[in-house]
Chains A and B, each alone.
Chain A
């Protein structure tokens, strides 16, 4: 089954073709980072406009790369949430209508489930059960994954998500947008020992996170220091070290608590090289295994949507023709695949 995946939940337009037999056939991505940069963050209306402008051309390009025709697609998967409403509508209406026209099934995909399954795009993919650290702009969660749609939330952030803390701290340090990669870059030239920040919530039991205090501590340090770029780099390094170690401590705790060996890390922050290296060390220490998608599948992309959709479609699930998006959609509400009744998923 060849599945077209469409991702438009935020500021990337991602298209991919995934074959349940042959794996990923092709994927293309248009990032709007440059468009939003002058605004200092994602402008939802501008993001939605860009998706509409780009998705058709990207779909054609993706099909061309996979050397196949649009009419030979067997199913369509599109992000139905969580995300920005206007952005979600663009991809959901496009994807669901494309499937309707071709008379093939379609499925609305949960964006975070897709992130969580992204390591399965790689040749070495984890078996269930595993622990997943989901770290993105909107999420910092530790989830026990027992199967498709079987998610037990072990820990969550009480305030800012890790990516959000990166973004906000970067903004206040004057590093601009997008904050995560820029702060990580600055940190490479900094000394993490110059500013040592606390590792929030690590000296008490539990698997929850809190990053807003750390963000404040970094800003306080910045405001009371002599502001040159060396200091900014040092603060960035200290901040990143604290986030990385905090995440590692909790991941280790989660593996031990659940008595599991496999750790999956997914979401935009998983593209942070320091974090990947430190998590590798963490799983090595407990004789476990780490699974990270390659960098381009950590941030938003169409490939993970096609994959997640394909897995549910294979299990007989599909979405009917009433197009529904869910801008807020907790991962914990996900269920194992539900077989569509009759042919309602078809036209």
Chain B
């Protein structure tokens, strides 16, 4: 997580799956204490709205919604794919980033982002698909995200993007913050009830009809 206050940013970062819920508020407490702020003094809240692990995305969403509801402030839902791309741009100086997150079930979450005057911009659409079905780009694009470790060969063959040495394939809150701050400035925040996760994978169960279960009436 990260905080922008009086032009200064501070952040906390930990890679601990399953500990999100436990660490969330104590980490926020630390950040706010350092800045000498109360939660009700926050002006806006940005969060990674997915795609990604469903429960993690929901934890971030619920927390952002709750802060926004209680403090009566806008929410800026930021794409996880965009945040990963922005990190690669920030840390590696790249301009065009092809992001693939391992989505399990032989698929990736895919999004191609490039720098523009208005900030980071999505080329085409975000999607969940097999590595063989990602967009065709060219070698001016570089790879980022966990999907490249699992499906690097297929992704490279189809997209033409280059594999580069990246420090970390995960999103960082500093980039969620940067994108969110821009959205806030442009009036693109939403109210708490409209802060929704984006899962991309929406077909999560089969109906009885799809399973061919007979019903008496």
Contacts and interface: CB of A to CB of B under 8 A. Distances in A.
Interface in B51-71: 54-55, 58-59, 61-63, 65-67, 69-71
Contacts of A38: 207-209
B213 interface: yes
B67 A39 contact: no
Interface string A298-338: 00000000000000000000000111110000000000000
A45 interface: yes
B176 to A, nearest CB: 17
Contacts of A322: 21-23, 25-26
Contact of B62 (A43, A89, A103): A89
A347 B205 contact: no
A323 B25 CA distance: 8
Contacts of A347: 29, 39
Nearest to B197: A52
B62 A90 contact: yes
Interface stretch (A145-153, A173-181, A203-211, A276-284): A173-181
Contacts of A43: 204-205
B55 A40 contact: no
Interface string B13-38: 00000000111111011000000001
A101 B214 CA distance: 50
Interface in A145-175: 173-175
Contacts of B196: 52-53
B8 interface: no
Given A52-B197, A175-B216, A347-B29, A93 B40 contact: no
Given A103-B38, A229-B217, A45 B24 contact: no
Contacts of A91: 62
Interface in A42-64: 43, 45-46, 48-49, 52-53, 55-57, 59-60
B158 to A, nearest CB: 29
Contact of B69 (A45, A90, A98): A98
Given A52-B61, A322-B26, A60 B193 contact: yes
A174 B196 CA distance: 36
B40 A321 contact: no
A71 interface: yes
A97 B193 contact: no
Contacts of B66: 93-98, 100-101
Of the four ranges (under 10, 10 to 19, 20 to 34, 35 or more), the interface on chain A belongs to 35 or more
Interface string A80-102: 00000110011111111110111
A101 B71 contact: yes
Contact of B205 (A39, A57, A93): A39
Interface string B184-217: 0000000011011101000011111100011111
A45 B54 contact: yes
Contacts of B214: 174
A97 B62 contact: yes
Main secondary structure, interface of A, reads: helix
Contact of A48 (B58, B193, B195): B58
A101 B39 contact: yes
A56 B192 contact: yes
B208 A40 contact: yes
B199 to A, nearest CB: 7
Nearest to A57: B193
A225 interface: no
Nearest to B57: A52
Nearest to B70: A101
B216 A71 contact: no
Given A56-B69, A70-B69, A173-B216, A97 B24 contact: yes
A83 to B, nearest CB: 14
Contacts of B208: 38-40
A102 B70 contact: yes
B21 A93 contact: yes
A48 B55 CA distance: 9
Contacts of A173: 216
Which one of A92, A94, A229 has the greatest number of beta carbons of chain B within 10 Å?
A94
Nearest to A86: B55
Contact of B59 (A49, A93, A102): A93
19 contacts: A39-B206, A40-B213, A48-B55, A52-B58, A56-B193, A60-B69, A86-B55, A93-B66, A94-B62, A94-B65, A97-B25, A100-B66, A101-B70, A101-B71, A103-B38, A103-B40, A227-B216, A324-B21, A325-B21
Which 9 A-B pairs rank lowest in CB-CB distance, beginning with the nearest? A174-B216, A101-B70, A97-B66, A321-B25, A93-B62, A56-B193, A323-B21, A98-B66, A101-B39
Given A100-B25, A321-B26, 20 more contacts: A39-B208, A40-B208, A45-B54, A48-B54, A52-B61, A55-B62, A56-B195, A60-B69, A60-B193, A86-B55, A90-B58, A93-B58, A100-B39, A101-B70, A103-B38, A174-B216, A232-B216, A321-B25, A322-B22, A323-B24
